[in-house]
Structure 1
Amino acid sequence: MKRVLGTIRSISTGMAIICYGYMVVAVIVQVLGRYLLPIGIGNAVETAAFAQVWLACIGAGLALRHGAVFAVDALPAMLGIGMARLVSLLIAAGSLVFLGVLIYGGILLTRQGAFQTSPTLLLPMWVVFAAVPVGMSFMAIEVIARVIERWNDPFGQHFDQTDVA
């Protein structure tokens, strides 16, 4: 299980690095083409925007993994281990329901994108829209992994042995 999760995390990190790197290169090429050369490279802007969509969707799971997603955990941090675990499960369940809605909507959007093309390059838009279900699926995996990995310390508090239920 850890090997599969590690592979998924490596792939998502690699995808984020590739998307970010591509965005930087595409924008630099577009700016240089516009101001230093007498040519406009509109394709670079469009593809950079597509890479940004993928980066945002994949990056949400990466941010969750590294604890960079906004959370209010002052109250749960004051709970005993048993109640903290219950609250952790409830939060995860709510997150998974929300992510399930996003995944479902993303699948519908991806299907619709099969009949649309991008304005400049005429790429099928499903390639861009697929970022939503893929990225939110990765985020759902991270939600589950976070609950499992932090089962003994759900909200980062440090329990005494007497608090363990």
Structure 2
Amino acid sequence: MPIKRLITLLRSLTTGFAVLCFCFMVLAVTVQVIGRYLLPIKLGNAVESAAFAQVWLACIGAGLALRHGAVFAVDALPATLPLWAARVVSVLIALGSLIFLAVLVYGGILLMRQGASQTSPTLLMPMWIVFMAVPVGMSFMALEVVLRVVDRWSDPFAPVFEMEMAE
């Protein structure tokens, strides 16, 4: 099925991008610490670029965390509901989440517009590139919200580890 392959590809790309951001952060901070304490050089751009990578990691990582059930949720009450009611509650929670994420995407787009005329202090990089993390990351998270409802339709509030073992 082409849509499943597309989703798998998107998930692989976002996971790879998150790993890349994390590795870059570790490398940039390590180089900055070595440069500061072992060599007589200061690398301010390493700190700034690590901070930008952290912004991207946080925004993309939110969707990854949701996919793996690492997002905080209180589901003791919905887990006791009959299947039809659990499905309704699941859809309502997803709708509320999607509305919230739509507000974040919109705010991120406004932030990007403002960042189009700004550059970062050290790297002189256009800030819209950094601010783009918000709409991209929250759009990815919105996709994961929808996929979570679809994937867990047979038992919306089953523990995540049970769902992963069934796959």
Same fold (TM over 0.5): yes
**In the TM superposition, what are the counterparts of 1:88-107 in structure 2 within 5 Å?**
88-107=90-109
Q: Distance in 1 between matches of 2:117 and 2:75?
A: 44
Structure 1: gaps (5+ residues): 158-165
TM superposition shift of 1:126: 0.3
After TM superposition, the runs of 4+ consecutive aligned structure 1 residues lying more than 3 A away are: none
RMSD, aligned CA: 0.7
**In the TM superposition, what are the counterparts of 1:1-40 in structure 2 within 5 Å?**
1-40=3-42
TM superposition shift of 1:141: 0.3
Of the candidates 106, 117, 122, which is equivalent to residue 120 of structure 1?
122
Q: Distance in 2 between matches of 1:138 and 1:94?
A: 16
| Greater displacement, 130-139 / 1-10 | 1-10
Q: Distance in 1 between matches of 2:72 and 2:4?
A: 26
TM-superposition CA deviations, 1:115-154 (whole Å, max 9, x none)? 0000111100000000000000000000000000000010
Could you tell me which residue of structure 1 aligns to residue 145 of structure 2?
143
- Aligned identity (percent) is 72
1:109 partnered with 2:104: no
Structure 2: gaps (5+ residues): 160-167
Task: Give the match's secondary structure for 1:4.
Answer: helix
Task: Give the match's secondary structure for 2:8.
Answer: helix
TM superposition shift of 1:28: 0.2
1:80 partnered with 2:56: no
What TM-score do the two structures reach when normalised by structure 2? 0.93
Of the candidates 64, 69, 72, which is equivalent to residue 71 of structure 2?
69
Could you tell me which residue of structure 2 aligns to residue 133 of structure 1?
135
